């Protein structure tokens, strides 16, 4: 298996309160509280561990909240490399109300990242992804500019490291210019990237093929409960997601990223990568909070995923 390193620029402690109802000017008691490590990079690394794929996590933590996160993650990551900075790692808060059912989310800001810290992180990323793969995912601290993944991907690619980018908005539109090896936008992120609505599978397939032709080797588009599309040198493939009971969608995309890369980094083909990616995502939506798939769930889903090849008219 090739080296894999996952970057986590802006992790968080996720606190989830379950309450009956928010009331103005009244103190509400939660009847259930969860503390989970958060941030896309952390989730991707946790998913790799479940898949029994060793991946390094290059992550910045700060203060007492950072210490708490590193404790919680003790058994969840194979190869963590924490860099400590001043300040406090952010806390994200989710309030799940039951009457009426609704969810409120407040994300903390996290510390600004000093350039010496960014430099150390980048060095770790090179070291642990050597001749292999680097995963660039999630939103960076506010003081970094939105071309951060473009800059990192350009430098890593020049050093022979293949990048997987999973990001949104200007982070993604800037990153694609550096031709990452793999991208995995969801349908909304793809629509923002190409600045138009995509309503049919043929339209999505055609856009994925155009992006592949621009020099990105694997273009995975995740489509939530509708499954996923892939354009690669082997062709264009679509698979629907298995119908499963959905408990929490948190981490579905991150699980898919780990599933996809664990196949590709092991020399596997497009169809197997798509199949395992979908099984991991659809496994995770069945778990509460930020809990991820189990291999038992994934193994039960794999054979239910049927892949079809898409032929674009006139191409």
Size of the site for Mg ion (CB under 5 A): 1
Q: Which does 281 bind (CB under 5 to 8 A by kind): Mg ion, ligand ATP, none?
A: ligand ATP
Which residues, including other chains, have CB under 8 Å from residue 271's CB and lie 6 or more apart?
Answer: 234, 237, 307
Residue 228 within binding range of ligand ATP, rule CB under 6 A: yes
Beta bridge partners of 91: 13
- Smallest gap from Cβ 176 to Mg ion, in A, equals 15
Does position 253 interact with Mg ion (CB under 5 A)? The reply is yes
CB of 230 to ligand ATP, least distance (A): 11
| Residue 211 C-beta: closest distance to Mg ion, Å | 17
Residue 249 near ligand ATP by CB under 6 A: yes
Residues shown for the chain: 315
Out of 256, 261, 287, 310, the only residue in the binding site for ligand ATP (CB under 6 A) is 256
- When the beta carbons of 157 and 286 are compared against ligand ATP, the nearer one is 286
Q: Which of 66, 140, 141, 251 binds ligand ATP (CB under 6 A)?
A: 251
Q: Based on CB atoms, which residue is closest to ligand ATP, 228 or 273?
A: 228
* 242 counts as binding Mg ion under rule CB under 5 A: no
Q: Which two tokens stand for residue 91?
A: 């806390």
Give the residue with the Cβ less far from Mg ion, 80 or 253.
253
Nearest to 38 by CA among 86, 97, 103, 108: 108
Q: Where does this chain touch Mg ion (CB under 5 A) — which range of 169-177, 190-198, 249-257, 302-310? A: 249-257
The residues, any chain, with a CB within 8 Å of residue 99's CB and separated by 6 or more, are 20, 21
Residue of minimal Cβ distance to Mg ion:
253
- Upper half-sphere CA count for residue 233 (Cβ side, 13 Å): 7
Beta carbon of residue 239, minimum distance to ligand ATP (angstroms, whole number): 8
- 2 neighbors 99 (Cβ within 8 angstroms): no
User: Please, which of residues 39-68 interact with ligand ATP by CB under 6 A?
Assistant: none
Instruction: Identify residues 268-297 at the interface with ligand ATP (CB under 6 A).
Output: 278, 281-282, 285
Minimal distance, residue 139 CB to ligand ATP, in Å: 11
Residue 215's alpha-carbon distances to 136, 183, 185, in angstroms, are 18, 11, 16
Among 80-88, 150-158, 169-177, 220-228, the segment contacting ligand ATP (CB under 6 A): 220-228
Using N-to-C axis directions, what is the helix angle for 270-284 and 295-302, rounded to 10°?
130
Binding flag, residue 39, Mg ion (CB under 5 A)? no
Residues 181-200 as x/- pattern, contact with ligand ATP by CB under 6 A = -----x--------------
Please identify, among the stretches 46-54, 74-82, 216-224, 263-271, the one whose residues bind ligand ATP according to the rule CB under 6 A. 216-224
Among 117, 164, 223, 261, binds ligand ATP (CB under 6 A): 223
**Which stretches of the chain bind Mg ion, using CB under 5 A?**
253
Q: Which residues bind ligand ATP (CB under 6 A)?
A: 186, 222-225, 227-228, 241, 244, 246, 249, 251-254, 256, 278, 281-282, 285
């Amino acid at each position: 298996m090739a080296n894999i390193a996952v970057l986590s620029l802006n992790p968080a402690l996720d606190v989830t309160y379950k309450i009956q109802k928010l009331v103005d000017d009244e103190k509400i008691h939660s009847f259930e509280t969860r503390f989970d490590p958060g941030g896309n990079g952390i989730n991707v690394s946790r998913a790799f561990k479940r898949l029994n794929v060793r991946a390094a996590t290059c992550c910045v933590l700060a203060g007492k909240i950072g210490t708490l996160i590193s404790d919680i993650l003790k058994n969840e990551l194979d190869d963590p490399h924490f860099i400590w900075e001043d300040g406090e790692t952010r806390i994200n808060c989710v309030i799940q109300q039951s009457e009426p059912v609704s969810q409120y989310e407040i994300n903390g800001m996290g510390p600004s990242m000093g350039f010496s810290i960014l430099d150390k992180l980048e060095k770790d990323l090179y070291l642990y992804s050597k001749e292999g793969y680097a995963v660039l995912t999630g939103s960076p601290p506010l003081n970094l500019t939105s071309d951060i993944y473009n800059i990192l991907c350009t430098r890593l690619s020049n050093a022979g490291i293949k990048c997987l980018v999973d990001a949104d908005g200007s982070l993604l539109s800037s990153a694609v210019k550096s031709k990452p090896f793999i991208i995995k936008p969801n349908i909304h992120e793809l629509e923002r990237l190409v600045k138009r609505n995509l309503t049919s599978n043929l339209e999505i397939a055609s856009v994925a093929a155009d992006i592949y032709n621009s020099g990105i080797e694997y273009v995975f588009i995740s489509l939530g409960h509708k499954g996923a599309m892939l354009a690669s040198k082997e062709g264009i493939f679509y698979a629907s997601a298995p119908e499963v009971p959905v408990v929490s969608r948190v981490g579905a995309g991150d699980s898919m990223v780990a599933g996809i890369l664990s196949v590709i980094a092991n020399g596997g083909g497009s169809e197997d990568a798509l199949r395992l990616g979908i099984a991991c995502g659809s496994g995770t939506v069945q778990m509460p909070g930020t809990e991820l798939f189990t291999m038992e769930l994934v193994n039960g889903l794999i054979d239910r995923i049927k892949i079809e090849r898409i032929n674009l008219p006139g191409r």
